[in-house]
Amino acid sequence: MRFGVNHTPSVGWFHSWLDFSPSDTARDLEAIASLGADHVRIFPLWPIVQPNRSLIRQQALDDVATVVDIAGSFGLDVNVDALQGHLSSFDFVPSWLDSWHRRNMFTDPDVVASTAAYVRALAAAVADKPNLLGITIGNEVNQFAHAPHPAPHDITAEQGHAWAAAMVSAARDGLDSGLEARPAPAPSTAPGTGSRPRPLVTVAQYDAAWYDDAQPFGPEHASDHGDATVTHSWVFNGSAALHGALGPGSVRHGEYLLQLAAAWNRDPARPNWLQEVGAPTNVIAPADAASFTEQTIRHVLDAQHVLGVTWWCSHDVSRSLADFPELEYDLGLFTNDGRVKPAGEAFAAMARAGATAGGAGAGAGDRTPPPTALVLDDVMPDGADRHGVRADCAPGGRFAAAWLDLATTAPDGRGPQVVLRSRLADTDLLAARGITRCVDVPADLDTTTLTVAHPATMS
Amino acid sequence: MRFGVNHTPSVGWFHSWLDFSPSDTARDLEAIASLGADHVRIFPLWPIVQPNRSLIRQQALDDVATVVDIAGSFGLDVNVDALQGHLSSFDFVPSWLDSWHRRNMFTDPDVVASTAAYVRALAAAVADKPNLLGITIGNEVNQFAHAPHPAPHDITAEQGHAWAAAMVSAARDGLDSGLEARPAPAPSTAPGTGSRPRPLVTVAQYDAAWYDDAQPFGPEHASDHGDATVTHSWVFNGSAALHGALGPGSVRHGEYLLQLAAAWNRDPARPNWLQEVGAPTNVIAPADAASFTEQTIRHVLDAQHVLGVTWWCSHDVSRSLADFPELEYDLGLFTNDGRVKPAGEAFAAMARAGATAGGAGAGAGDRTPPPTALVLDDVMPDGADRHGVRADCAPGGRFAAAWLDLATTAPDGRGPQVVLRSRLADTDLLAARGITRCVDVPADLDTTTLTVAHPATMS
């Protein structure tokens, strides 16, 4: 079980790539390491690295590689996200893909080939770092694929699969070529950087993938591509409004999303990664942030095959920067000027306890899976895909309510796994997942409905 | 009469601001100076300088100031454009003004205030440079104000006036504060940088301002704001298609646009600046570029009160960069690798002859105005503004045809001035402009019409 933090640079936010400062970076990463984190996730800005479709700036790649090295000096592994893309309400789209040059981001052959070239180059630039945790294709790129994005690049699910496959392939090619091209690193004795497993390649999506039937990127894009299934949990999606900031539907939302997403994994041993979760002040009072953090992580520890949890985020956005949603100024585990906040203390306590607990160390799958699974009706009686299944899973939906009922009444306090109706007959799969009892959503379930504010502008 | 060149960096195009290299810049500027040019126009990219609405990067301002100094070392004055904005088919819009953060660029109070802050800071950063020719608000920003821009920030003409006034005021404030804040420069003995006149503040528009009745920025935005009336002449606007690459309607288009724009000047002594003109290969064969250049400049010299001509552009775009309109790869006076092209030789010959001709030197107004003026029907018989007047002025329009008839039949070869019907009674103005004969567009004029390809994606 890994504990990490999404690095939001304290000076200049991600615009700091324009004025890259190793010392500013080192100060931030030293602080993050002091919390007991073992990794960070970092975010180059796409238009800065690839300002022209055929120009990938070596200096930008070098800066990313330098950040990885600095992190390593503090014992931190690093996950590098490629396509930003979208961060904290701001879109960063290269000029060659916008306005007069607008083409579909996911399907235009020239765009896809050049985007893959960037992913490949970025992966290659950090491939030989002993502390490279992995490459994520980009932060919640599925936001661009459908409404409510204000200018979506609409696609089909099939086109989403082709794109994700191309990007994952590019990342793996980059990792391979980067390792081939460079001398093997000397064996490292730095903490946490011993005999490294192969870096992970992952695809990150915002939760419309699981909750919005109209979003072309869905659960199978999360489960079928890359090396782990990634979830991002943001309770401003209606969870906190429905259940209260510290209600079980809020502090267990990360756990729920991990279980929900894992249901689509074809490989029962596939790791699941809660790559983003935070305590947004638009729905969680600052005074509740520490408790939310502690309870959220505690519940995540109850899930099986959890690769890790990576908190959003390290540092509050500076009030000197304009136009962020209000909550972004208070999402940090540290204040902008570097003081640890109560949520940071809570994270640190969990990270330190988690890092020393159990026997399997950093590997996923060190927790016996919950034996009960709630059945998700993903198919119609005739076997066709059921439209509406994702709405059922969203906060306030029938399935979400049933899962929460089971979770809060479980004797051991652990939320149930989720199994797809379409896979119920796969007894090998169920056995491998440790599922011994399957439960249907009660026909007489009393659900509460609510209007869910769309999270897309938020993070 | 000034001779200048728009600097298109040979290495990395304008993306080179991300990897600013004084030596690359010096090599380009030395080459430009070798043509006999006395000034360059340079183009910071807006999102690089102001990546957050409240973050104006000091390093980016310093880089611009360094370019001005390097230019000075080669005897070149510099005009700095602020809001790019738009360059060679690419739009560069900060993330705080696009997508989820989209607001009207010209009217949103926060956006206008922050845009003004950037213009002010940029002007202040170069205010004390003895070789500062001026500040232009931005390159053809009026492109963003209406269709055919793919995502226009539509406004009224009045809103355009308010915006232009705010930006010009910001530039002047910046120049004033920059001069106050810094020690007075030592008297310079570098060529062309003697006792410098106050830097010019200008507003640059693409030619829809004169040719498209629907464009909110019109002739009066050019003539009523700043210190000179700026025109950009691109014969892919239909001129070359109608008249041929070397036809009089093409090689006199720059002269025509200077005369047309000057008609709106309220101050008869106001200088007029042909700030962009080039030989685009989509309508001018490369073999004709030198002749086009020579003839264009020769005709411009026939106009009165011409501040200067600034050729687009210095260097061909590298073929290693993708997605430019084909013509952009061949617009330079130099090849991308620095060899002077025939058009560059033609420019150099004109610049050297022009720089030594006449007695008034670099000042505008050193040519006796043509005594004849063609009357432009800008008002209806009842005095109301006449819609359609700009279409009449466009290539192929009645007014344009009539001007060209007069120009090509004039005994001295000089194209006529233009006078607005609404100002015909202003005898003082006519006298000050040296107009002794006013000619109406013939009622029986035989005009040819053509379909004009819109130039907006081109430069």
Map chain A to HEC letters. Answer: CEEEEECCCCCCHHHHHHHCCHHHHHHHHHHHHHCCCCEEEECCCHHHHCCECCECCHHHHHHHHHHHHHHHHCCCEEEEEEECCEECCEECCCHHHCHHHCCCCCCCHHHHHHHHHHHHHHHHHHCCCCCEEEEEEECCHHHHHCCCCCCCCCCCHHHHHHHHHHHHHHHHHHHHHHHHHCCCCCCCCCCCCCCCCCCEEECCCCCHHHHCCCCCCCHHHHHHCCCCEEEEECHHHCHHHHHCCCCHHHHCHHHHHHHHHHCCCCCCCCCEEEEEECCCCCCCCHHHHHHHHHHHHHHHCCCCCEEEEEEECCECCCCCCCCCCHHHHHCCCECCCCCECHHHHHHHHHHHHHHHCCCCCCCCCCCCCCCEEEEECCECCCCCECCCHHHHHCCCCHHHHHHHHHHHHCCCCCCCEEEEHHHCCCHHHHHHCCCCEEECCCCCCCCCCCCCCCCCCCC
For B70, the token pair is: 């390097």
CB contact under 8 A, B100 and A456: yes
Closest by CA position to B73, among listed B30, B121, B125: B30
**Which of A84, A90, A91, A139 is the best residue to mutate to test the B interface, defined by the most B CB atoms within 10 Å of its own CB?**
A90
Give the separation between CA A7 and CA A23, rounded to whole angstroms: 15
Give the separation between CA A332 and CA A56, rounded to whole angstroms: 31
Q: Is B192 helix (H, G, I), strand (E, B) or coil?
A: coil
According to DSSP, residue B108 is labeled: -
CB contact under 8 A, B92 and A89: no
Q: Over chain A, what is the mean pLDDT?
A: 93
**Which of A100, A110, A153, A318 is the best residue to mutate to test the B interface, defined by the most B CB atoms within 10 Å of its own CB?**
A100
A458 CB neighbours in chain B (<8 A) are none
Residue B249 is predicted with a pLDDT of 97
Q: What is the mean pLDDT of residues A419-424?
A: 97
CB contact under 8 A, A100 and B456: yes
Nearest Cα residue in chain B from A13: B52
Q: What is the mean pLDDT of residues A219-241?
A: 98
Residue B366 is predicted with a pLDDT of 63
Number of helices and strands (H, E) in chain B?
Answer: 15, 13
Nearest Cα residue in chain A from B93: A95
B321 CB neighbours in chain A (<8 A) are 52, 54-55
Residue B303 is predicted with a pLDDT of 97
Residue A34 is predicted with a pLDDT of 98
Nearest Cα residue in chain B from A99: B150
pLDDT at B175 over 70: yes
CB contact under 8 A, B100 and A51: no
Q: What is the mean pLDDT of residues B309-337?
A: 98
Q: Which residue's structure tokens are 């609405």? A: B53
For residue A284, give the amino acid letter. Answer: I
Q: Is B261 helix (H, G, I), strand (E, B) or coil?
A: helix
Residue A216 is predicted with a pLDDT of 98
pLDDT band at A180 (very low <50, low <70, confident <90, very high): confident
At B292, which helix (H) or strand (E)? helix B289-300
Indicate the residue of B18, B55, B456 with minimum beta-carbon distance to A57. B18
Here the ipTM equals: 0.93
CB contact under 8 A, B52 and A91: no
CB A406 within 8 A of CB A372: yes
Residue B182 is predicted with a pLDDT of 66
Burial class (CB in 10 A: 0-12, 13-18, 19+), A36: middle
∠ CA A313-A199-A223, nearest 5°, is: 75
B interface with A, Cβ–Cβ < 8 A, is 12-13, 15, 18-19, 47-48, 51-55, 57, 59-60, 89-93, 95-96, 98-102, 110, 114, 149-151, 320-323, 456-457
pLDDT band at A66 (very low <50, low <70, confident <90, very high): very high
Indicate the residue of A101, A102, A150 with minimum beta-carbon distance to B102. A150
Nearest Cα residue in chain B from A151: B99
CB contact under 8 A, A12 and B48: no
Nearest Cα residue in chain B from A148: B100
Separation in Å, CA A170 to CA A167, B153, B170, B247: 5, 38, 47, 52
CB contact under 8 A, A18 and B48: yes
Residues 6+ positions from A277 with CB-CB distance below 8 Å: A232, A233, A234, A254, A296, A300, A309, A310, A311, A312
Tally the residues of chain B. 459
Tally the residues of chain A. 459
CB contact under 8 A, A99 and B93: yes
What angle, rounded to 10 degrees, do the helices at A109-126 and A157-181 form? 40
Indicate the residue of B12, B51, B98 with minimum beta-carbon distance to A55. B12
In this predicted model, what pLDDT tens digit does every residue of B277-302 receive, in sequence order? 999 999 999 999 999 999 999 999 99
Indicate the residue of A18, A51, A457 with minimum beta-carbon distance to B15. A51
Indicate the residue of A19, A54, A92 with minimum beta-carbon distance to B59. A19
pLDDT at B228 over 70: yes
Give the separation between CA B43 and CA B87, rounded to whole angstroms: 9
Residue A444 is predicted with a pLDDT of 87
**Which of A53, A55, A84, A206 is the best residue to mutate to test the B interface, defined by the most B CB atoms within 10 Å of its own CB?**
A55
CB contact under 8 A, B149 and A114: no
pTM of structure: 0.94
For residue B412, give the amino acid letter. Answer: D
Residue B457 is predicted with a pLDDT of 38
A110 CB neighbours in chain B (<8 A) are 322
How many Cβ pairs closer than 8 A exist between chain A and B?
Answer: 102
A321 CB neighbours in chain B (<8 A) are 52, 54-55
Give the separation between CA B402 and CA B260, rounded to whole angstroms: 12
Residue A446 is predicted with a pLDDT of 75
pLDDT at B130 over 80: yes
Long-range contacts of B437-443 (CB under 8 A, 24+ apart): B437/B371, B437/B372, B437/B373, B438/B372, B438/B373, B438/B374, B438/B375, B439/B372, B439/B373, B439/B374, B439/B375, B439/B406, B440/B374, B440/B375, B441/B374, B441/B375, B441/B377, B441/B398, B441/B399, B441/B402, B442/B402
For B8, the token pair is: 């298109």
In this predicted model, what pLDDT tens digit does every residue of A86-97 receive, in sequence order? 999 999 999 999
Within its chain, how far is the Cα of A100 from the centroid? Answer: 32
> Which range among A106-110, A384-388, A452-456, B213-217 shows the weakest confidence by mean pLDDT?
A452-456
Distance from CA of B274 to the nearest CA of A (A): 26
Percent of chain B whose pLDDT exceeds 70: 91
Indicate the residue of A18, A55, A150 with minimum beta-carbon distance to B57. A18
Q: What is the mean pLDDT of residues A385-405?
A: 96
According to DSSP, residue B438 is labeled: E
Nearest Cα residue in chain A from B11: A55
Q: Which residue's structure tokens are 């899962």? A: A403
Q: What is the mean pLDDT of residues A178-203?
A: 69
Neighbouring C-beta atoms of residue A417, cutoff 10 Å: 26
Q: Using CA of residue B290, residue B294, residue B299, residue B305, what is the dihedral sign?
A: positive
**Which of B19, B54, B90, B206 is the best residue to mutate to test the A interface, defined by the most A CB atoms within 10 Å of its own CB?**
B90
Give yes or no for a cis peptide into B85 (omega within 30° of 0). yes
Distance from CA of B92 to the nearest CA of A (A): 6
> Which range among B11-20, B148-157, B180-189 shows the weakest confidence by mean pLDDT?
B180-189
CB contact under 8 A, A322 and B114: yes
pLDDT band at A350 (very low <50, low <70, confident <90, very high): very high
Indicate the residue of B95, B99, B320 with minimum beta-carbon distance to A151. B99
Give the separation between CA A90 and CA A317, rounded to whole angstroms: 13
CB contact under 8 A, A55 and B92: no
Residue A355 is predicted with a pLDDT of 61
Residue B373's φ and ψ, nearest 5 degrees, are: -130, 135
pLDDT band at B448 (very low <50, low <70, confident <90, very high): low
Q: Strand pairing partners for A312?
A: A6
Indicate the residue of A12, A54, A98 with minimum beta-carbon distance to B320. A54
CB contact under 8 A, A100 and B90: yes
Indicate the residue of B55, B59, B322 with minimum beta-carbon distance to A96. B322
